[in-house]
Structure 1
Amino acid sequence: MKLNFVVFLCVLMLSSCASKKDIWYIQDAGENNTAQINFQQTTIQPNDILKIDVETLVPEAAQPYNKVTNANQFSLLAFQLDGYLVSEEGNIIFPVLGEIALANLTMNEAEVKIKDLLVEGGHLKNPTVRVRVVNAKVTVLGEVNQPGTYNFSEQNITLLQALGYAGDLTINGKRDDVIITRDVDGVRTITHINLTNTDFMNSEYFYIKPNDTIIVNQNKPRVTNSGYVTGLTTLLAVATVALSSIIILSR
């Protein structure tokens, strides 16, 4: 009876432990330590909020094409409130020009399109147009230290940066099967990422797109623990009581 219990205890403890293969990131970094970086252009999607600035050599000439922001309110929230909301059809309403279709264009393509409309329509000569998304965000859920939704203003952030915003994965996070959901051009995709090797760094999911959702599920040791006991201290306490009972009963 004692032997059977000891064997059961050992099996239980081993099944509750995670190896370095479960918790180390990019374990093949020594083999793949150099690669070309391929930055990805984000395309404009419905519900994006755009900040659009038009400038010319004569500032007064560009005033009708710019929204005026209070000098004391230069904040992300102020830019979002004063920005151009992309409709479900992919359009914005721009001063003087009216409705403009921008869905699925990159920022550079949107800038060129607005500039051409201003020049070809005889509105401005040689204007400079800048377009930027001001409500870019990523949601991180599951086995991370600080799950939530995080705004970012950079043109490109990586999957690792997004996980860094959420305080990194907990020790119980499943590193070899991180899920990313993405909505682009009216199509939702769900993909699985393995953070324990470098392959994901060369995929289209290495760079996060606005409105991506990252889901980190529990790893096998955590799931196993949840079915028995919730911590090593509790496990040892149970084992101590069980062994004491066996000793007493065997006398």
Structure 2
Amino acid sequence: MVLFSFFSSCTTKKDILYIQTSGNNTFENKILDQKIEVNDILSVKIGSLNSESSNVYNIDAMGSGTTTVGTVDVNIALKNYLVNNEGLIILPVLGNIKVSDKTTSELEKFLTKKLIDEGHLLEPTVSVRILNSKVTILGEVRSPGTYSFPEKNITLLQALGLAGDLTINGVREDILLIRQDANGKTINHINLTKKDWMNTDLYYIKQNDVIVVNPNNAKIKSAGIIGNAGALISVISILLTVIVLFKK
């Protein structure tokens, strides 16, 4: 029975190859510019031709200390901006700024216009980044967990690379990508052996996406065999103990 299960669960080349297509293909992907959300940590850097004039608009100019909460060094948070429950951050000189539901590009344009229109700076430059973008990867990958990524955009394949790639027992044909937006959570099914998903909005990872890689039948069967074998060994051990005791 064990031998039959072993041979019937052998993995083939078709089971493990990604994007099984022939020839060259070109895809046009729209780069995602993520919406800023509550609890995001933002880096906002404001510059101009006169650095002395623009320095006062940056949080570094206000000074900072180092504080530890638990095992977390919050010096990074002190030098950047946590979006509060109202979707606001407080910038030096400019005060409260509504940032939630804006993309980083939209916020850069908004702040640039504000600095010019209100006479703060001439030819200002504004750079905004989300510092705590993260993705959670679970299931049949080598190192499941939650991973932060500093890049503005990473792809699904790059995210799986952070977790060390799928194991040999991961189902390539049905990757689950759980994504939350204003309308709630959606569960998307992605077949990594095909190419069609690469031309959709699932190609790029969004903040707080969850990726689930389910085990294949071979892994499920082997888990059952191992579990049954363990139970059988336990029963035999108990029976042998009873026999030995009775013989005494």
TM-score (norm 2): 0.79
- How far apart are 1:187 and its partner, in Å? 2.8
Q: Secondary structure at the match of 1:130?
A: strand
**Are residues 172 and 134 of structure 1, via their aligned partners in 2, closer, same or farther at CA, if it must alter by over 3 Å?**
same
Q: Secondary structure at the match of 1:65?
A: coil
Q: Counterpart of 2:36? A: 44
**Are residues 18 and 199 of structure 1, via their aligned partners in 2, closer, same or farther at CA, if it must alter by over 3 Å?**
same
Q: Secondary structure at the match of 1:51?
A: strand
**Are residues 224 and 25 of structure 1, via their aligned partners in 2, closer, same or farther at CA, if it must alter by over 3 Å?**
same
Q: Secondary structure at the match of 1:195?
A: coil
- Among candidates 39, 45, 48, match of residue 53 of structure 1: 45
1:96-116 C-alpha deviation (Å, 9 max, x unpaired): 222211122221110011122
Q: Where does 1:9-20 land on structure 2 (aligned, <5 Å)? A: 11-20=4-13
Are 1:84 and 2:81 counterparts?
yes
Deviates more, 1:9-18 or 1:83-92: 9-18
Are 1:219 and 2:216 counterparts?
yes
Unaligned runs of 5+ in 1: 1-7, 235-251
Q: Counterpart of 1:183? A: 180
Are 1:115 and 2:112 counterparts?
yes
Q: CA RMSD in A?
A: 2.6
Q: Does the 8 Å CA contact 1:80/1:135 hold for their aligned counterparts?
A: no
Q: Counterpart of 1:94? A: 91
1:36-67 C-alpha deviation (Å, 9 max, x unpaired): 34322222122111100111222121122101
TM-score (norm 1): 0.78
Q: Secondary structure at the match of 2:150?
A: coil
**Are residues 225 and 107 of structure 1, via their aligned partners in 2, closer, same or farther at CA, if it must alter by over 3 Å?**
same
Alpha-carbon distance in structure 2 between the residues aligned to 1:199 and 1:89: 39
1:24-43 C-alpha deviation (Å, 9 max, x unpaired): 11112x15632234322222
Q: Percent identity?
A: 46
Are 1:156 and 2:153 counterparts?
yes
Pairs aligned (count): 221
- How far apart are 1:154 and its partner, in Å? 1.3
- How far apart are 1:195 and its partner, in Å? 0.7
Q: Secondary structure at the match of 1:111?
A: helix
Alpha-carbon distance in structure 1 between the residues aligned to 2:130 and 2:2: 55
- How far apart are 1:13 and its partner, in Å? 3.0
